[in-house]
């Protein structure tokens, strides 16, 4: 029997049936190879009752041979003390639930490998959608029928149903890798996803005018109270109640204006610091989509004017009223948006639709998909972006043109009929400075 080194394990070949290589240095420690070529480290032993047990420690690649040998030695030490590690693991698996797996998935995978926004969205689906419906089901017994039932329950919201299915699929793949489920037992396999209809909603010029009026009113004097009382209850309210107004969060209003004038994502606006803003260069360093730092991005004059009008109370462009050391919360902006959109009669418009509006206006201004992808900082042209370095001047002109049209809409004015000559912008831009030698 060979000593299980990395070279030996890498060279081991699969057979027609399940096969094993046993280590000559540690009795009971071995390598299991499936006919498909999957290699896993195992430990084999005999219990005090005389029963033969074999348990998987982990997959090759996730564990090095020396790491697996140490784990095997620990398990064999437990056996010498009269314990049965395989039976204990089986009992633990029987007690674990789908909720336990989802918690482990969030903590050990999403939080480690994905962006913070992905963690927020995944946590919301886990807590609001998955746990209430399947969280209490035992992990060992959760099967395809459970997945199909869940998917059907969520049929009215196909996007949410597919997202829940994707999270379950990844979590159960990891469960196999973690030794919590048998290999090739993912219950989401063969469950067909629903077709999704992309929601297309953007503001037209008349809607922009209503939104602009609502923003101006909220900024200047607050918005009227929303009175829900009826009948006798309405009689007992103060006579001037309908005339009373409530303030709207100033950072919330500013965030909405910046969303419209930059096409940024809400998280990008919330996380903006003053050292990300270069007013002289006319750029804002927005965060990358999935890590990797920030990149200066040209913005229009309207966005720069909003930024110039904001007080500097700390590092954040939009600080909290009570704690300037923290940026304003998403909930504050969403609350401001709920009130403003209701006052403007735009009840079906989401905050993210402001970004759609910017993209739509950019397309109507004659820009191509490549330019729009840079205006909105999309991540789906990654391969192209590696080889193409867009000029800042055309993007700045595009950003200015879109911003000017949106500003005109907010003021109820006619949109400027402006055609962007990108070729001229490239011809007239300042020559690039050669790097200094030495």
Q: Are residues 108 and 75 in the same domain?
A: no
Does residue 105 register a pLDDT over 60? yes
Residue 199 pLDDT grade (very low, low, confident, very high; cuts 50, 70, 90): low
DSSP label of 290 = T
Which pLDDT value is given to residue 1?
60
**Residue 285 CA: distances (Å) to CA of 295, 318, 401:** 5, 15, 20
Read off the pLDDT of residues 374-426 as tens digits, 9 standing for 90 and up: 777 776 644 223 223 344 556 677 788 888 888 888 888 876 655 444 444 44
How many independent structural domains does the chain possess?
A: 3
> Which of 330, 355, 380 marks a domain boundary?
355
Which pLDDT value is given to residue 400?
82
Determine, yes or no, domain membership for 383. no
Q: Are residues 222 and 103 in the same domain?
A: no
> Which of 320, 335, 355 marks a domain boundary?
355
Q: Are residues 263 and 220 in the same domain?
A: yes
Q: Are residues 90 and 167 in the same domain?
A: no
* Mean predicted confidence (pLDDT) in 258-267: 92
The tokens for 182 are 């048998």
* Mean predicted confidence (pLDDT) in 154-178: 93
Which pLDDT value is given to residue 313?
93
Q: Are residues 61 and 111 in the same domain?
A: no
Query: Which residue from 142, 135, 232 is spatially nearest to 185, judged by alpha carbons?
Result: 142
Which pLDDT value is given to residue 289?
57
Does residue 431 register a pLDDT over 50? no
Which pLDDT value is given to residue 230?
54
Higher pLDDT, 65 or 118: 65
Which pLDDT value is given to residue 229?
47
Which pLDDT value is given to residue 340?
96
CATH code, 295: 1.10.443.10
Strand partners, 245: 224
Q: CA 225, CA 243: separation in Å to the nearest integer?
A: 8
Q: Are residues 166 and 307 in the same domain?
A: no
Q: Are residues 103 and 79 in the same domain?
A: no
- Identify the domain containing residue 102 by its residue range: 98-178
Which pLDDT value is given to residue 118?
85
Q: Kindly report the pTM of this predicted structure.
A: 0.54
Q: What is the 3-state secondary structure (H, E, C) of 196-259?
A: CCCCCCCCCHHHHHHHHHHHHHHHHHCEECCCCCCHHHHHCCCCCHHHCEECCCHHHHHHHHHH
CATH code, 21: 3.30.160.390
Which pLDDT value is given to residue 424?
47
Percent pLDDT > 70 in the chain is: 82
Determine, yes or no, domain membership for 231. no
Read off the pLDDT of residues 321-374 as tens digits, 9 standing for 90 and up: 889 999 999 999 999 999 999 999 999 999 989 988 888 888 777 666 777 777
């Amino acid at each position: 029997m060979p000593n299980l080194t990395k070279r030996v394990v890498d060279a081991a070949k699969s057979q027609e049936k399940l096969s094993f290589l046993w280590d000559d240095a540690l009795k009971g420690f071995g390598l299991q190879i499936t006919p498909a070529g999957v290699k896993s480290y195992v430990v084999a032993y005999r219990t005090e009752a005389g029963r033969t047990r074999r348990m998987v420690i982990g997959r090759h690649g996730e564990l090095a041979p020396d790491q697996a040998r140490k784990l095997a030695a620990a398990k064999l030490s437990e056996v010498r003390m009269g314990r049965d590690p395989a039976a204990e693991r089986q009992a633990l698996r029987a007690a674990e639930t789908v909720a336990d797996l989802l918690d482990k998935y969030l903590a050990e995978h999403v939080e480690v490998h994905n962006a913070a926004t992905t963690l927020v969205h995944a946590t919301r689906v886990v807590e609001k959608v998955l746990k209430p419906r399947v969280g209490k089901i035992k992990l060992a017994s959760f099967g395809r029928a459970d997945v199909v039932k869940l998917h059907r329950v969520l049929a009215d919201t196909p996007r949410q149903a597919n997202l829940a299915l994707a999270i379950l699929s990844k979590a159960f793949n990891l469960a196999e890798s973690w030794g919590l489920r048998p290999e090739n037992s993912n219950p989401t396999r063969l469950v067909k996803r629903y077709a999704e209809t992309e929601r297309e909603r953007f503001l037209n010029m008349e809607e922009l005018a209503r939104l602009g009026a609502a923003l101006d009113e909220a900024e200047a004097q607050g918005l009227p109270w929303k009175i829900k009382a009826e009948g006798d209850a309405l009689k007992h309210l103060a006579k001037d109640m309908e005339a009373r107004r409530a303030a709207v969060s100033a950072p919330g209003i500013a965030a909405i204006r910046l969303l419209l004038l930059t096409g940024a994502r809400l998280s990008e606006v919330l996380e903006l610091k003053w050292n990300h803003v270069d007013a002289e260069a006319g750029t804002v360093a927005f965060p990358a989509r999935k890590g990797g730092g920030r990149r200066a991005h040209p913005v229009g004059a309207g966005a720069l004017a909003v930024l110039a009008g904001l007080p500097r109370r700390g590092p954040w462009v939009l600080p909290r009223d009570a704690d300037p050391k923290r940026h304003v919360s998403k909930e504050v902006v969403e609350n401001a948006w709920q009130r403003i959109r209701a006052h403007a009669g735009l009840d079906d418009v989401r905050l993210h639709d402001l970004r759609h509006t910017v993209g739509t206006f950019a397309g109507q201004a004659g820009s191509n998909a490549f330019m729009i992808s840079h205006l909105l900082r999309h991540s789906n042209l990654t391969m192209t972006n590696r080889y193409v370095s867009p000029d800042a001047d055309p993007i700045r002109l595009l950003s200015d043109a879109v911003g000017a049209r949106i500003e005109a809409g907010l003021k109820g004015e006619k949109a400027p009929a402006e055609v962007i000559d990108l070729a001229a912008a490239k011809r007239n831009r300042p020559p690039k400075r050669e790097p200094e030698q030495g």
